[in-house]
Structure 1
Amino acid sequence: MSDNELRRIKVLLIDDEPFIRLTIRQILMQIGIPPSNLYDAGDATAGLAETLRVRPSVVLCDIHMPGDDGLSYVAKVRSAPIPDVAATPVVMLTSDSGEEAVMAAKGHKVAGYLVKPVSIAAVKKSIERALKVTLP
């Protein structure tokens, strides 16, 4: 993947913790994704609105949030009437490594599952897998 292609990747981060959003934003910038291509939302409802507005290349989404959780968000994305939106790759980003949560996420056809805290390498690899690309 060229630098030009990397600059076109848009990432939406959905997490109710501002510190987590800031930390992941910094990791994404270290990977090479421009700050102008990073979007975030503090809950699933705002995340869905941003997904429809931004049409991200990939979404990193927490599972456990107040109100609708991350799995509810994924279910709504998958049932969207717009094919590009319904096919949006979603990587779950959570501190829940329990089998029940992992299996529930797989049932929603997520593109990956990252357990917090995450490393730069793990985030990069999950984005590469979700988008089927190799990042520089």
Structure 2
Amino acid sequence: MNETELRRIKVLLVDDEPFIRLTLRQILMQIGIPPSSLYDAGDVKAAISETLRIRPTIVLCDIHMPGEDGFAYVATLQKAPIPEVAATPVVMLTSDSGEEAVMTAKGLKVSGYLVKPVSIAAVKKAIERALKVTLS
């Protein structure tokens, strides 16, 4: 994937912790995704709104958040009446490595599952797998 294609990727970061969203922004910028292509939301309601507004290429989503959790976001997304939105790849990014959470994610057919803390290489690989591309 060349620089022009990389600039077209829109990433939505969904996490209730501002520090985590900031850290993810920095990781994604190191991968080569420009800041203007990074969006974020602090809860599921805001995430659904942003998803419909920006139509992200991929979503990195926490599981455990106040109110609805990341699984509720994925389930809502997959039921969207707009096929392009319903098919948005979601990589769960969580501190929960428990079997129940992993199995729930598998059941929702998420595109990836990363356990925090994450490395730049792990985030890059998860995005490449989800989008079926190679990032330069």
Given the two structures, how large is their TM-score scaled by the length of structure 1? 0.99
Q: Distance in 1 between matches of 2:106 and 2:71?
A: 10
Deviation at 1:5, TM superposition (A): 0.4
Indicate the residue corresponding to 1:7 in structure 2: 7
- RMSD of aligned Cα (Å): 0.4
Deviation at 1:19, TM superposition (A): 0.4
4+ residue segments displaced more than 3 Å: none
Q: Is 2:65 aligned against 1:65?
A: yes
Indicate the residue corresponding to 2:92 in structure 1: 92
Deviation at 1:52, TM superposition (A): 0.4
Stretches of structure 1 lacking an aligned partner (at least 5 in a row): none
Indicate the residue corresponding to 2:110 in structure 1: 110
Amino acid corresponding to residue 72 of structure 1 in structure 2:
A
Number of residues paired by the alignment? 136
Indicate the residue corresponding to 2:123 in structure 1: 123
Deviation at 1:109, TM superposition (A): 1.1
Indicate the residue corresponding to 1:49 in structure 2: 49
Indicate the residue corresponding to 2:33 in structure 1: 33
Q: Distance in 2 between matches of 1:11 and 1:50?
A: 11
> What is the CA deviation profile of residues 97-117 of structure 1, one whole-angstrom value per residue up to 9, with x for unaligned ones?
001000101111100000000
> What is the CA deviation profile of residues 18-47 of structure 1, one whole-angstrom value per residue up to 9, with x for unaligned ones?
000000000000000000000000001100
Stretches of structure 2 lacking an aligned partner (at least 5 in a row): none
